[in-house]
Amino acid sequence: MRSLRLPPRRLLNKHALSARSLTVDGVTLTLGELAVRFGCSLRGDPNVAVNHVASLESADEAALAFLANAKYRPHLATTRAAAVIVDTATVAACPVAALIAKDPYLTYARVAALLHPQPQFVPGIHITAVVDSSAVIEGSAYIGAHVVIEAGVRIGERTMIGPGCVVGRDVTIGADTRLLAKVSVLDRTVIGDRCVLNPGAVLGSEGFGFAPDKQGWVKVPQLGGVRIGNDVEIGANTTIDRGAIGDTVIEDGVKLDNQIQIAHNVRIGAHTAIAACTGVSGSTTIGKRCMIAGQVGIAGHLSICDNVIVTGKTMVSASIREPGMYSGSLHAEEARKFRRNAARFAQLDELAKELRRLIGKKQKLGGNE
């Protein structure tokens, strides 16, 4: 990593460039080029060009659509897309050109990224950014308006620190990472390459550690840090506390949705994905390639093994040692019906005892049959 300090002339002039200067180059490709590039079979004219993706319903004749969820199959017959990414089972029903893929959603993800590249920014440091003179910022990086960069920070190549972010002392951020806006990264946090942090995310807040005393609570100093691997995405307003002693660790490829809470000293294994509003309590370890749905609660000091799926709103209160799917939440019913059943739940132990007594008697009685 070339670690040049930015000369003053690289400061972006406020009046010449009052916010981010972005350029997006349109991309146009033929179906033939797409088929070759993504290893699809093509049914249709390879010279037809597309320049954007769209849904089956809204697509026009320059658009590429896809079908990955059977729910949207009714829209296939009427689509006006130039072509649709489908699997072999669906191609016969496709009324327009078809790019045939084993996994249409995955192929769609890749084609969409190609047709809709990230806008490119002009590197530089906005004149309103406050950057400590000891920070080392690569020349290809962008530091936005009203950003604060404290002492000892290192920012890698082509990384974008969007408007209003705060980057605390001795933070290290890798290359090609994007902090979209108003992200708080507190002291000593380490963030890898190619990460995306959405607005309002907080990394390195103080963990919730207090020892009870007669007079109330005594704060336990939160001395650890936060380490984020490569290719991690962090949703809007998600919070990740620093460790109490030692670090909170998010491994490579982890995807965290919005409003997730990760407590101190949690470790989340590589390529695990967690949906919105889930909370993970302190010192719990989650394995690799897990999928945790939304509003799940995971208690502290647990160990969840690799390849675990937890369905929405489940409370995980014990370690999970076997891969598989785990559930724990009841589902909505018409309210009066639910309340009647919930009232019986409150009698459940008593009902079970009555049943067992009855079975006992019955077995005696049954002996008389």
124 in contact with a copy of itself (CB under 8 A): no
Cα torsion 335, 340, 343, 349: sign:
negative
295: phi > 0 → left, psi -120 to 50 → alpha, else beta; which?
left
Closest to a copy of itself by CB, 4 or 22: 22
Q: Compute the distance between CA of residue 149 and CA of residue 184 in angstroms, rounded to an integer.
A: 11
The Cβ-side half-sphere exposure at 274, using a 13 Å CA radius, reads 31
Q: What are the DSSP calls for 295-310, one per residue?
A: T-EE-TT-EE-SSEEE
Closest to a copy of itself by CB, 1 or 330: 330
Closest to a copy of itself by CB, 46 or 162: 162
What is the distance, to the nearest Å, from the Cα of residue 29 to the centroid of all Cα atoms in its chain? 30
Q: Which of residues 72-101 bind a copy of itself (CB under 8 A)?
A: none
Exactly one of 126, 146, 264, 301 is catalytic; name it. 264
**13, 58, 88, 120: residue in contact with a copy of itself (rule CB under 8 A):** 58
37 in contact with a copy of itself (CB under 8 A): no
* Closest distance of CB 296 from a copy of itself, Å: 9
Closest to a copy of itself by CB, 163 or 287: 163
Q: Compute the distance between CA of residue 203 and CA of residue 189 in angstroms, rounded to an integer.
A: 7
Known catalytic residue at 331: no
Give the position of tokens 């807040």.
205
Cα distances from 305 to residues 252, 257, 262, 322, 327, in angstroms, run 17, 21, 17, 7, 15
Q: What are the DSSP calls for 24-83, one per residue?
A: -----EEHHHHHHHHT-EEES-TT-EE-EE--TTT--TTEEEE--SGGGGGGTTT---SE
Binding mask 194-233 for a copy of itself (x = CB under 8 A): --x-xxx-x--xx-xxxxxx--xxxxxx-x-------x-x
311 in contact with a copy of itself (CB under 8 A): yes
176 in contact with a copy of itself (CB under 8 A): no
Closest to a copy of itself by CB, 92 or 346: 346
Q: Which of residues 327-366 bind a copy of itself (CB under 8 A)?
A: 327-349, 351-352, 354-355, 358-359, 361-362, 365-366
Closest to a copy of itself by CB, 46 or 356: 356
307 in contact with a copy of itself (CB under 8 A): no
22 in contact with a copy of itself (CB under 8 A): yes
259 in contact with a copy of itself (CB under 8 A): yes
* Closest distance of CB 195 from a copy of itself, Å: 11
Q: Which of residues 275-304 bind a copy of itself (CB under 8 A)?
A: 275-277, 279, 281, 294-295, 297, 299, 301
Q: Compute the distance between CA of residue 63 and CA of residue 28 in angstroms, rounded to an integer.
A: 10
163 in contact with a copy of itself (CB under 8 A): yes
157 in contact with a copy of itself (CB under 8 A): no
Q: Interhelix angle for 348-366 vs 335-345, to 10°?
A: 70
Backbone dihedral angles phi then psi of residue 342, each to the nearest 5 degrees: -65, -35
Catalytic residue set: 264
